Structure 1
Amino acid sequence: MMDLILPDVITSVLETRFIGQRVIHFPSHGSTMEAAKQEARQKAVEGTVVIAEEQTSGKGRAKRIWLSPKGSIALSVVLYPDVSQLSYLVMIASLAAVRSIEAVTGLQTQLKWPNDVLIKGSKVCGILIESELQGSNVAWAIIGIGINANNTMKDYPKIAAAATSLSDEMGKDVSRVAIIRCLLVEMEKLYLSVGDGEHIYQEWRGRLITLGKKVQVLSGERVLDGVAEDVSRDGSLLLRHGNNYLSRIVAGDVTLRDAG
């Protein structure tokens, strides 16, 4: 029997000040990100969470389709950060995801730049950040998180080699409610403690399996082969390639070229 992720179940013992204290639940929705944007434009209370049992038109980075069938976790969080905090949101979301997955399941996770959560090299969670500026201020920001929880990759043979789910790894279903509660608690802890962002940057950087590896980066129309040397404080990847060039990659897809 599937555990329904209903608002009163999530919030009943949720130990947060504001993130997740208001939950909007849909049995099915095209995109929790789009629903959260509508909430943000109507000045919804900060920390509002939009969640769906299944998401039919979800998008990942570069507007790719992100599958969120029943049994998975698809949620979006409305925030109103200071502009100085904006670049740290992907780090906050990534760390909240790995902390919560590890705490609830005991599984070891990895982070691949820029925002993929992996288990044993296979993707289990995707993260998307969208925001809107008004002048030099942030009007709103949305953290979207999709986790393959109790949906099996056996149903999707085309992506089974590159993706996994928590239940596939555990050999049994996990409590989606427990993961969501833990995720929201960890997200709020990180968000409220961001300060100058140094500790968040260092923890995120330390979790990245990408650094020091030979990689291929697809960024826009460019394909670059090199070594992922470091990441900057704004989250950009520093790629050493060609005749010892160092390029800053703001957005792109990374493929690891070796296992070392």
Structure 2
Amino acid sequence: MDPVSFIVKKGINTRIIGNKLKYFEIMSSTMDDVIQSGLNGENEGLTVVSENQTHGRGRTGNQWVSQEGNLLFSILLRPPSEIVNLLQPMIALSLQASIKRYCKLNVDIKWPNDLLINQSKIAGMLFESGTTAGKLEYVALGIGINVELQKVPQITATYPVTDLQTHTEFFVDRNELFSNIIHDLDTAYWDLKLGFDPIQRWKDELKIEGKMVSLNSNGIIITGLVLEVNDEGGLVVQCENDNIVTVMTGNLIERKH
């Protein structure tokens, strides 16, 4: 499988995201590199790609198991504060569209920001931000996409894990896929800055309203009926005791009964 260094060396013609690319065969964490760059004053758009990570991580402190042959990258953004809450829906929708178009697959978004094929996880996103005296300085966006797993990770997960190559009828070229994803992310981010609001489209793609779910939110298990997804991206849940709570983050399991 061709290393992603090919497209990194060639470069990608974008406005912001991907305007500067860094490539590593192996590193501790692309997120750590981007965060340090954010602290050092690097311009937004920096994208750091690695074939492998020794300390990759996912949401809520979970480990992201890194394997060669996949796409592992992080992006430095410096968005205006008024669009920060729109980043997660925008990124999820953009990645979904890129993969659907390139791989010709049906891809679902699982709240809040995982991508699934046939109820198996193929991609995840991580957002971390830095502030100074209450002012937002940067957002670090981490993305991991399972393109072709050498072996299925033996980890405890809410959803099983799969990869794109398993479901795609042709060879998935990581350089082409990565280039498509970066172009789409750059366009989506530009549109966001110009005023596009992705919330309703994201809500529609979640298909979670009216479903029974169980959530682990900061160690608290919440079970109930999803009444709606609010404009901040939280799930409004009617619990089994009829209390109504809003959950902003957590690991979700959709219940069949």
TM-score normalised by L of structure 1: 0.91
1:29 pairs, out of 27, 30, 35, with 27
Shift of 1:63: 0.8
> Structure 1 pair 13/74, CA: closer, same or farther in 2 (3 Å)?
closer
Shift of 1:59: 0.6
The aligned counterpart of 1:38 is 36
Q: Distance in 2 between matches of 1:179 and 1:230?
A: 33
| 1:186-244 CA-partner distances (Å, limit 9, x unpaired) | 21222122258663111111110333211001112321111122212221111121343
Structure 1 residue ranges (4+ consecutive) displaced by more than 6 angstroms after TM superposition = none
Matches within 5 A, 1:94-173: 94-152=92-150, 154-158=151-155, 162-170=160-168, 173=171
Moved more, 202-211 or 69-78: 202-211
The aligned counterpart of 1:5 is 4
| 1:90-140 CA-partner distances (Å, limit 9, x unpaired) | 112211211111111001100111111000100000100000122342111
Judge conservation of contact 2:21–2:49 (CA < 8 Å) in 1. Answer: yes
Judge conservation of contact 2:23–2:50 (CA < 8 Å) in 1. Answer: yes
Q: Distance in 2 between matches of 1:195 and 1:25?
A: 27
> Structure 1 pair 196/225, CA: closer, same or farther in 2 (3 Å)?
farther
State whether structure 2 residue 230 is matched by structure 1 residue 232: yes
Q: Counterpart of 1:97 in 2: which secondary structure? A: helix
Shift of 1:13: 6.4
Q: Distance in 2 between matches of 1:13 and 1:220?
A: 40
Moved more, 215-224 or 108-117: 215-224
Q: Counterpart of 1:194 in 2: which secondary structure? A: helix
Q: Distance in 2 between matches of 1:244 and 1:186?
A: 42
Q: Distance in 2 between matches of 1:218 and 1:9?
A: 39
> Structure 1 pair 44/198, CA: closer, same or farther in 2 (3 Å)?
closer
Q: How many residues are treated as equivalent by the alignment?
A: 256
**Paired AA for residue 44 in structure 1:** E
Moved more, 43-52 or 130-139: 130-139
Judge conservation of contact 1:217–1:253 (CA < 8 Å) in 2. Answer: yes
Judge conservation of contact 1:56–1:69 (CA < 8 Å) in 2. Answer: no
**Paired AA for residue 145 in structure 2:** I
Q: Counterpart of 1:199 in 2: which secondary structure? A: coil
Q: Distance in 1 between matches of 2:180 and 2:40?
A: 27
Q: Distance in 2 between matches of 1:159 and 1:189?
A: 35
Moved more, 113-122 or 227-236: 227-236
Shift of 1:144: 0.5
Q: Distance in 1 between matches of 2:140 and 2:51?
A: 19
> Structure 1 pair 138/119, CA: closer, same or farther in 2 (3 Å)?
same
**Paired AA for residue 232 in structure 1:** N
| 1:13-56 CA-partner distances (Å, limit 9, x unpaired) | 63411211210111001110001111111111210001101112
Q: Counterpart of 1:101 in 2: which secondary structure? A: helix
Judge conservation of contact 1:214–1:226 (CA < 8 Å) in 2. Answer: yes
> Structure 1 pair 11/21, CA: closer, same or farther in 2 (3 Å)?
farther
Question: Please, which runs of 5 or more residues in structure 2 have no aligned partner?
Answer: none
